[in-house]
Each structure stands twice: as structure tokens, then as C-alpha cells.
Chain A
Amino acid sequence: MQHLTDTELLDLVTQGDEPALRELVERHTGWLLLRLRRRTGDEALAQEALHDAFLTVWRRAGTFRGDGDVGAWLWGIAIRQLVSRLRKRAAPVPVSARVVSALSPTVRSAEDELLVAVEHGSVGDALRALSPELRQVLQATVIDGALDPRGGRTAGDPPGNGEESDADRPVEVEGAAAARRGVVTVGATNQGWHVDQPLWSAYAGGRLDAAAEVSVEAHVASCADCRRAAGATVSPATVEAVWRSVQAEITRPEPPRALRWLRRAGVGESELVLLGAADAVTLPWLTAIGGAVACALVSGLIGWRQEAVFLGLAPLVPMLAVVAAFDATDSLREVGAATPYSKLRLALLRTTAALAVALPVTLLLGLTVPGLHAVAFSWLVPGLALSSGALLLLGWLSPWASGGVLTLGWLTTVSVAVGAGGTGVVTGGVTQALLAVACLPLAGLVAVRATTRTLRGAEG
């Protein structure tokens, strides 16, 4: 990784390459952290902003347009994250009480505080000593990516091609008491001017005068060598801590969007992991919704024995949703077999999640299709019986084989029954009662099997 350029690393990061991000963190943490510290004076806040910045890089590396220096782009992100953090804070950054009191509380935003810190601090004093043109360039550079996401470039500058823009170049501080006295030669040109280790140390310690500080910041946005030199002023442990915090965040699985409302509803985090793994809830929900829509469409559009068709199809929807829920992680059945998690609990969790969508959606669509009101509820008990049957068959068959067997069996039964006596055979009280009663021993068998032997589809 070390031989790759920043742009190449960013390309890899867009593909989800974690080592590439780590390399970027290791390359850029030093100088970014130093600059952030100079902005806030709060170490924790600076590290948090940096953490957020690298997270943003991980998630939005593709937004880098490749028309400028990656370092400047990173600084733009970092300073924005700092602003964002400051917004969330109750207390403002420590700035001169005199200046703060001059600002109305109603207009004192995080950006204001940064501007105040720069413009009314010692840096600002030095800026005012410069020519208006140079001051404009410097201000745009120093106030940084807060104004321009490319960072380190004034709004009117054309997109760069990797070369330094005026704003990126170190400043020629001719005739001004702006250079760091004793370190930067007054009147030095930008040619060959670099921020060495002692200068970084002086910058980190706040021992530079204002113009020298501005020069350092403007220069490092585009000078990889100087950025590297900054790394030595930050301990490896700090860099590692930043990386660990970023890594912890990027590797932490986030539940699918569909599950986040369950979290808000109080469903436990462990259960969300189980439901969210490998589309174990997305797939059954899509199956349920797709199945219910298909069922309603076929029943509504067909002009022949509409109710019988609905009764034949609707009970399959919850059963197939349950099957889909088990299929998602079926390949891990053997691994899960040796784990202590309750197989019955897992089966119930998945079944409940699948039925929670399948039943209301099918019911709603059944009620909205004209001509089905008479059987809009009659499919519920057969649907539950088929779902229980699927859970039992999962002990021996693969999920979709179980679904196939039950689908075939149910359609055959309904065809024969309806052919013999119409839909009343299925919707009649006796049939419904028998199916309801059948659910109980089926559920009992599922429970016994889950606690005594291995249950296919429930990882053991």
C-alpha cells in the first residue's frame, strides 16, 4: 500500500478496501490532527472530528473528483466535521471572550467561532498586515474547506491538475514580520520551502507567529513530504487509536433500513443481528409483499372462480415468507448447530418477523380487491396451518423443498375440495376449526424437535 498515491488509495477505498483506508489514516492523521488541534485546542474534539472525517472518506470516497490534491480534499472534510461537532456542542470553542461577547448569540454559529478564532486571534492580526490580495488567498485557504469542499482553493480558481494553486503555495512573506522568526527566512520564496520537523513542532506548540502559521497550513495542503514530516509529531499510539475507532465504525454491521424501525420499537440489538443477517428479514418481507400483490392481482383480474383462486393462493403467502426467512441463512445450518442459542427462539423470531408483514399485507390486499370480501379472512387459519407445517418440514427438508411440498399439497387439496363442493368446503366452520386445531400439535412438534434434535434452517 505504501507505494500507492493518495488518489490510488482513494480509488481502492471506493471499492471497500479497508487496508487502503488504513494507509490513508496513517499518512494523514499526523498533519490533520495538528491542524485540528490548532483550531480547537481540544484534543478529544480534534480526534472526534478526524474520526468523522475518515468515516466520511470511507463512505464518500467516490465524491473526490480527482482534480486536486487529496490532502486538501481531506482537510476540507476534516474542518467540516469539526464545524459539525462544534454545532452539536453546548459550549463554544475557547476563543477570546472579548470577541465572543461582541457577537450576538443568535448569530454565533460554529463557523463564526472558527472565523473568530482565526480572524480575531493572532493569525488574524498577521493577516491584516498582508496585502489585500494575499490576504484574500490566505483567508480562503485557512478558513479552508469550510468554504470550499475542495479545500485549499479559492472559489474562483480553476480546477487544478495536481499542481499547486496560488493558494496552495507557501507564502512569500516579503517584508512582513510574518515568518516564523528564527526558523523561516524572511523574504524566502516558495521554491524549496518545506515544513521540517522543528517547524512542525513549533506549529504544534503554538510557537509560530501568525503569518508563519498561515504559511505552514497553506503549504502542507499540497505537500506530501511535509505532511509526512508531521507524522513524527503525533505518537503512533494516537494514530492507531484513530484507526481503531474508524475501523470499529466501518466494520460494525448496520441493520438493514427495514429493520431500523424495529430498533426504535425496542427490539433487542442481538435480535436485529439475527434478523438482519443475509437478508433474513428483507427477503421474507419482499416475498410476502410480492406474493400478496401477485395473489391480489391474479384473483382480481381472473374472471373465473375468483374466491377459489384467492383461497388457493393467499394461504401460501405467509408460508412462503416463513420459508424465505429460513432460506436466507440455511447455508450456515451446520455452523449454527454447535451454538447454544435456542433454536426454538430463533425459529419463532424469524417466523414472527415474516408473519408480521405477510399477514397484514395479504389481509389488506384481500379486502381491497372487489369481490373477495366473503373470503377475505378465511385464508388466515389455513395460512397459519401451512406456516406451522413448513416449520415442521424444515426439520427434514431444505426450506424451498418444504415450501414446494406444501404448495403442491395445498393447491391439490383446494382444487379437489372446491371442485367437490365450492369454496364453502374451505371456508366452512368445521374445516377452519380443524385447521386451527391442527396448528397446535404442529407447533408442539416444532418445539419438541427444536429442543431435542437438530432443526434444518434454524442452524441446528
Chain B
Amino acid sequence: MSTAILDGVSKTYGGTTALHPTSLTLESAVVGLLGPNGAGKTTMQRLLATAMPPTTGRIVVAGHEVTGSHADRVQARRRIGYLPQEVVFPRGMTAFGFLDYIAVLKEWKDSGRRHREVRRVLELVQLDDSGSMKVTKLSGGQRRRLSIAQALLGAPELLILDEPTTGLDPEQRAALRGLLSGLPGTVLISTHQTEDVSALCDRVIVLDGGRVRFDGSVPDLLATAAGRVHLGATPTPGAVHTWKTGNGLIRSVGGQPAPDSSSVDPSVEDAYLLLRAEPQPTEGVNR
């Protein structure tokens, strides 16, 4: 059974369309959302998280239509964990107190069970020895992990994470990957870190200008760039991007290969850059 369905969902702010009518189905998997700033990633995630209503279309989460009745929306919210792009902590809260507060909002009424759950998610993000610390005394990475912990409360079926790796060092990012890859249900991650997508995601969706530009597996995305990335002494003519690598050779993404260049395996970033360079479709429903 699908965890989430977007059916012709769009969002318009005033005269600006942040998300064109989009239809997607999310199954149990780790799904990466890639796209430049303003592509509609955060809008799509906020819509799925029920943080705002869509302008058109219908959203279903775990069988409950969030665009329907209030009761259905509440049912859906019981199955959602949401990490916004930025969490500003109120002053005076401890790490444990913050999670305890969110846990109450997630309807954990029994204090004993709630506290156990808080300790569980603190352990998951390796903050189990920092529960009593004031949030203001935590480092940036610790605060980000605390923000992630609140989304994990209650083991939600749909976990929506908006740029979760921002502010994390490589070790912490690796630990987060380990954590997310072991979770059941659907994890939807928006990120600018293409290496996170290639390392973690079963499926990748590329958004651009409020439209879905690509929807498929990581190997499928890589296949779109096969034979289009070259390494040589000179840049290839017409390349989308070129840069000098550590060994002195020029890596060219796209363009016509120069005679002295050789084709290399593309990365997710190469494929993404090539996709972005292609002209955008302007009509039709995203599927």
C-alpha cells in the first residue's frame, strides 16, 4: 500500500506558482528530492506534512485524505514526522524538554511511555547524554540532530525531512544515513547534497521551477548522463560545466567530447546538472 499520494496537487502564493499540478505516489522507500532553491521542494514537503493546504488537488497519507475532513487530517498527522528546513528553538528549553513538548503535541499522554520514547529518539541521534542540556548550549550539529529526533518520535510511517544534513559533519551525516536507511516506511528527504542521494535513496525526484523533471531510481538518473561526462586535457566544447580536478585534468559535463578526452562514470551530481541544463517543459501535469 502506498504511504502518500499527491493527485494533481498545486500551490500558488499570490500570483506565483510554487508547485504546478503534480501527481506522485510514494511507497515504502527512501526518496530523495533534488532541485535548486525555489524549485518547490519545501512547498511539496510542507503540503505533505499538512503544514499548509494545497491550492488544488488531493493529498492522501496512509489512507487518510489530508485535504478532506479535519478528522482525516488528524489521522494523517498521527502518521507523519516532519522536520522543517529550520527549527528555531524557544529559549530556556532543554533537549529533553523540547522533545517532551513535541511528544505531547504528538499525543503521547502517558508520561512514562512518553519519556521512554523521548530517550529512545535521543539515543537514535546520539544525544542520549545531552538530554538535560539547554538547547542554547548545544552545537549547531547537535541542534540539527535534535530537530531530526522530534521528527522520529512515534516511528512515523511518513518521515519528511527538509535538508536534514545541513550543519552535520561527515561522521554525523554517515550516522544519519545509517539511521534513515534502517527505518521502515517512507522517508522523503530534500537535499542539495547529491552524495546523500546516491548513498541513501532508492528513488530520486528532481524538481525544477515547481515541476517534476525526473522521477526514478538512482541508476536510472545516472543512465541519463552515461557517456556525457569526460575527462581530458581541455574542456569539451558546449559543456554545461567544466572544472579542473585534483590530478590536473578537466572534467566536462555534457558537450561534444574532445579527441583527447575519455568518458568517465557520471555521478548523481553530473546527471542532475545535465538535467537542469535541458529546457523545461511548460505544460501538463507532473507525473
Contacts and interface: CB of A to CB of B under 8 A. Distances in A.
Interface in B76-117: 77-78, 80-82, 84, 87-98, 100-102, 104-107, 109, 111, 115
A18 B133 contact: yes
Nearest to B160: A338
Contact of B53 (A268, A328, A331, A453): A453
Given A270-B104, A278-B93, A16 B129 contact: no
Interface in A1-57: 16-19, 22
Contacts of A268: 109
Contacts of A250: 131-132
A257 to B, nearest CB: 14
Contacts of A18: 129-133
A459 B105 CA distance: 9
B90 A452 contact: no
B119 interface: yes
A291 interface: no
Given A247-B131, A250-B131, A277-B97, 9 more contacts: A18-B130, A251-B131, A252-B96, A253-B96, A278-B92, A328-B90, A335-B150, A340-B106, A346-B105
A459 B131 CA distance: 23
Contact of B102 (A247, A331, A339): A339
A18 B130 CA distance: 6
Interface in A420-458: 451-454
A398 interface: no
Interface residues of A, number: 39
A163 interface: no
Nearest to A244: B119
21 contacts: A16-B137, A19-B130, A22-B129, A247-B128, A247-B132, A248-B115, A274-B104, A277-B98, A278-B101, A279-B92, A331-B89, A332-B90, A334-B84, A335-B82, A335-B87, A335-B150, A338-B51, A340-B77, A341-B106, A453-B53, A460-B50
A149 interface: no
B49 interface: yes
Given A279-B91, A453-B53, A269 B111 contact: yes
A329 B89 CA distance: 8
Most chain B CB atoms below 10 A, which of A253, A268, A328, A453 = A253
B94 A251 contact: yes
B77 A277 contact: no
Residue of A250, A332, A336 with most chain B CB atoms under a 10 A cut-off: A332
Contacts of B50: 337-338, 460
A433 to B, nearest CB: 33
B101 A277 contact: yes
B133 A277 contact: no
- In this complex, the member of B74, B93, B104, B133 whose beta carbon has the largest number of chain A beta carbons within 10 angstroms is B104
B89 to A, nearest CB: 7
Nearest to B128: A247
Interface in A299-346: 328-329, 331-332, 334-342, 346
A116 interface: no
A335 to B, nearest CB: 6
B173 interface: no
Interface string A272-297: 01100111000000000000000000
A268 B95 CA distance: 22
B74 A273 contact: no
Interface string A337-357: 111111000100000000000
B287 interface: no
Interface of B: 49-53, 70, 74-75, 77-78, 80-82, 84, 87-98, 100-102, 104-107, 109, 111, 115, 119, 128-134, 137, 147, 150, 160
Contact of A278 (B75, B91, B109): B91
Interface of A: 16-19, 22, 247-248, 250-253, 268-270, 273-274, 277-279, 328-329, 331-332, 334-342, 346, 451-454, 459-460
Contacts of B52: 337, 454
Contact of A452 (B70, B105, B109, B111): B70
Given A18-B130, A277-B101, A338 B93 contact: no
B104 A341 contact: yes
Contacts of B53: 453
B97 A253 contact: yes
B97 A331 contact: no
A372 B107 CA distance: 46
B77 A278 contact: no
A338 B90 contact: no
A250 B134 CA distance: 12
B120 to A, nearest CB: 13
Nearest to B79: A340
Nearest to A1: B129
A62 to B, nearest CB: 16
A340 B88 CA distance: 20
Contacts of A338: 49-51, 77, 80-82, 160
Of the candidates A270, A339, A452, the one having the most CB atoms from chain B within 10 angstroms of its own CB is: A339
A346 B96 CA distance: 21
Contacts of B95: 251
Contact of A253 (B100, B129, B130): B100
B119 A340 contact: no
B52 to A, nearest CB: 6
A13 B111 CA distance: 26
B93 A339 contact: no
A248 B119 CA distance: 9
A252 B90 CA distance: 18
A25 to B, nearest CB: 11
A446 to B, nearest CB: 14
B90 A19 contact: no
Given A18-B129, A248-B115, A460-B51, A253 B77 contact: no
B129 A336 contact: no
B128 to A, nearest CB: 8
B51 A337 contact: yes
A22 B224 CA distance: 53
A347 B150 CA distance: 21
A340 B74 contact: yes
Contacts of A340: 74-75, 77-78, 105-107
Contacts of B133: 16-18
